[in-house]
Amino acid sequence: MCGIAGYIGNRNAPEILFDMLRRLEYRGYDSAGIAYLSKGKVVISKGKGRVDEVRRNSKNGDSSIGIAHTRWATHGGPSHENSHPHTDCNFRFTIVHNGIIENYKDLKQELVSEGHRFSSETDTEVIPHLIEKFYSGNFEKAFVESVKKLRGSFAVAAIDPEEPEKILVARKESPLIIGIGKNENFIASDTPAILPETKKIIILDDFDYGIIGKDDVVIKDLQTGDRIKREIQTIDWDIKQAEKEGYEHFMLKEIYEEPDAVKNALKGSNEIREIAKRISKYQKVYFVACGTASYAGMVGKYILERFGISSEAVVASEFRYSTVNAIDNNSVIIAVSQSGETADTIASVKEAKKRGAHIISVVNVVGSSLTRISDGNIYTYSGPEIAVASTKAYIGQLVSVTLIALFIALERGKITGDYVNEILHDLNGIPEKIGHILKNENEIRKIAEKLFKKDIFFYIGRRLNYPTVLEGALKIKEISYVHAEAYPAGEMKHGPLALLEEGVPVIAILPNDDLAEKMESNIQEAKARNATVILVSETGDLKVPPVDPLLSPILYIVPLHLLAYHISVLRGIDPDKPRNLAKSVTVE
Ligand code: AGP
């Protein structure tokens, strides 16, 4: 996600702000910028690219107050115009923002109708124009009134050259902290930006807003305006730990972000509904992707089949040389890719386009190559995924693919709107259910301690959870370097059963659905060969809360991500940087 920073004190704000942005770079970004106040004016330096590039091209000024931003694009691709900071029509009220403003389209429409001129495609730019609209002599009052209009998530900082003694901040869902210095104060999205300057911080809560001066910090309640007390904490992390927010590895941090990955993907529901209306007329549906993303595509295929709609899920390296020959203008390709830069997936899409196919992409990185050659894009909004092994992005893909399959079935009259609403209601409950699984991490680590010396793993599941076991097996392979086979459980007796013997671990997915008895038999077959069966179920070794079977892939993969992570660490491997692998495979 984006990173915001701010400084007010006696030292040179631009220098300090660029240093703070450098310490936010690990979060992943595509553009950066700063704004500072000098001689009654706002001075802005921003653009697409690295912090150092923006710094080299910036006008170095003498200022004691400023704000800054690293952008991870969500609305509007990476560009100079879309980079932050953003200002109002008169280049006065200047803000930086991290989060997603869900009602920005309505707000923007109203502001434009009132004569406001916008210069970007971002959701963020509505904020300075709202401040301009509500301003009647009091910056704080206009700021509060504007922020109260926002729906979605925000950590926002604002400055006004007419009131240069303060930075105004507010937060809801997106993190925002204040660093307490001596005759100076700092704001940032998280601790690495602040750590070298001060270890004393205040963590704002949702609906807090703050007036940050160089000698004082006042925090108030956004709804009531009442002053509130927030304790000053002392952080004892070093920078490296702080970048991982105290987690040992980015992969573990990103697994713990899986509840948010569900919430963020759900923010795309309306767009997905619109896209489904457009593509439901295409008779042939293909999910095309690589690796982990291809398993999300497979889940989409199984969900459509559940509703009587046939489709195909094909890995891109096969699709581009074979399946593509069957593509025509009655085909829709749903390409799934975290990076949006995977060579095989992009090549498949280009070949399919030549044959008249309609292209939809499910992507995490806004403005990536795949999004630029697609007819429509569904963003998972998972935020930057730093670890090579995909975890939270997979969860985001599953949510988006589940939604697109649901809405296609609805458009085709296979299911009712009531049923869709039921599933949407259950989806909203998934983040909490993932949280319950994460609370069980110690149990999962104990199972990893029993298994980490094994030299082969079997994963078995059926139907919607066949992709789940494929993903579980891939995770073990890519970060523990151990061979792992994933099989449709019903297939074991057609050969692989010969490999089972005393102590061979078999990870079995057993959701509470109409195939439970069949799965039970397969589990018995494994136990009869003295295999070590690890049951993933509501009451098994790896426990999962009850969930609608349609949504089971989203939940049942979480313990498998944690299991793979702990086995990797126990085998002395850095799960963030597995050998031979790249985060994005941009070559064939
Ligand atoms: C997943 O853990 C791997 N890193 C890999 O399989 C990845 O999913 C695959 O390369 C596809 O990448 P993409 O989603 O960026 O297209």
- Measure the CA–CA gap between 97 and 418, rounded to whole angstroms: 36
Q: How far is ligand 1, taken at its centre, from the CA of residue 465, in Å?
A: 19
Confidence of residue 369 (pLDDT cuts 50, 70, 90): confident
Query: From 3.40.1190.20, 3.30.420.40, 3.40.50.10490, 3.20.20.140, which CATH number describes the 440-578 domain?
Result: 3.40.50.10490
Mutate to test the pocket of ligand 1, among 342, 380, 394, 586 (most ligand atoms within 8 A of CB): 342
Confidence of residue 246 (pLDDT cuts 50, 70, 90): confident
Q: How far is ligand 1, taken at its centre, from the CA of residue 585, in Å?
A: 7
Task: With a cut of 80, say whether residue 535 has pLDDT above it.
Answer: yes
Atom 8 (ligand 1): residue with closest C-alpha? 292
pLDDT at site 192: 85
Strands 167-172 and 154-159: antiparallel
The candidate with the shortest Cα–Cα distance to 301, out of 290, 316, 286, 315, is 286
Is there a contact between 394 and 296 (Cβ–Cβ < 8 Å)?
A: yes
Mutate to test the pocket of ligand 1, among 377, 390, 395, 587 (most ligand atoms within 8 A of CB): 390
Is there a contact between 420 and 406 (Cβ–Cβ < 8 Å)?
A: yes
pLDDT at site 212: 98
Which residues fall within 8 angstroms of residue 453, CB to CB, at 6 or more apart?
A: none
Is 583 an annotated catalytic residue?
yes
pLDDT at site 180: 97
Ranges for all domains in the chain classified under CATH 3.40.50.10490: 243-428, 440-578
Q: How far is ligand 1, taken at its centre, from the CA of residue 340, in Å?
A: 10
What's the pTM?
Answer: 0.82
154 backbone dihedrals φ, ψ, rounded to 5°: -155, 140
Task: With a cut of 90, say whether residue 237 has pLDDT above it.
Answer: no
The candidate with the shortest Cα–Cα distance to 284, out of 408, 414, 464, 463, is 408
Strands 86-87 and 65-71: unpaired
> What is the pLDDT averaged over residues 34-39?
96
Mean pLDDT across the chain: 94
Strands 532-537 and 542-543: parallel
DSSP single-letter state for residue 26 = G
Q: What is the pLDDT of residues 317-368, one digit of tens each?
A: 999 999 999 999 999 999 999 999 898 999 999 999 999 999 999 999 887 8
> What is the pLDDT averaged over residues 376-403?
94
Q: What is the pLDDT of residues 201-224, one digit of tens each?
A: 999 999 999 999 999 999 999 999
pLDDT at site 366: 80
The candidate with the shortest Cα–Cα distance to 283, out of 313, 311, 305, 308, is 311
Is 48 an annotated catalytic residue?
no
Ranges for all domains in the chain classified under CATH 3.60.20.10: 3-235
pLDDT at site 85: 97
Helix (H, G, I), strand (E, B) or coil at 327: coil
- Measure the CA–CA gap between 246 and 238, rounded to whole angstroms: 9
Task: With a cut of 80, say whether residue 265 has pLDDT above it.
Answer: yes
Q: Which amino acid is at 107?
A: L
Spell out which residues line ligand 1, taking CB within 6 angstroms.
290-293, 337-339, 342, 345, 388-390, 478, 584-585
Task: With a cut of 80, say whether residue 505 has pLDDT above it.
Answer: yes
> What is the pLDDT averaged over residues 51-63?
90
Q: Look up the CATH superfamily of 243-428.
A: Glucose-6-phosphate isomerase like protein; domain 1 (3.40.50.10490)
Protein fold of 3-235: Glutamine Phosphoribosylpyrophosphate, subunit 1, domain 1 (3.60.20)
* C-alpha of 527 from chain center: 39
Q: What is the pLDDT of residues 422-473, one digit of tens each?
A: 999 999 999 999 999 999 999 999 999 999 999 999 999 999 999 999 999 9
Q: How far is ligand 1, taken at its centre, from the CA of residue 259, in Å?
A: 20
Q: What is the pLDDT of residues 66-119, one digit of tens each?
A: 999 999 888 888 899 999 999 999 999 999 999 989 999 999 999 999 999 999
Atom 10 (ligand 1): residue with closest C-alpha? 291
Confidence of residue 577 (pLDDT cuts 50, 70, 90): confident
Q: How far is ligand 1, taken at its centre, from the CA of residue 388, in Å?
A: 8
Mutate to test the pocket of ligand 1, among 250, 290, 576 (most ligand atoms within 8 A of CB): 290
pLDDT at site 2: 84
| Alpha carbon distances (Å) from 25 to 69, 76, 190, 202 | 10, 20, 12, 22
Task: With a cut of 90, say whether residue 236 has pLDDT above it.
Answer: no
pLDDT at site 87: 98
Atom 5 (ligand 1): residue with closest C-alpha? 291
Q: What is the pLDDT of residues 133-170, one digit of tens each?
A: 999 999 999 999 999 999 999 999 999 999 999 999 99
Q: What percent of the chain has pLDDT over 90?
A: 87
> What is the pLDDT averaged over residues 386-409?
96
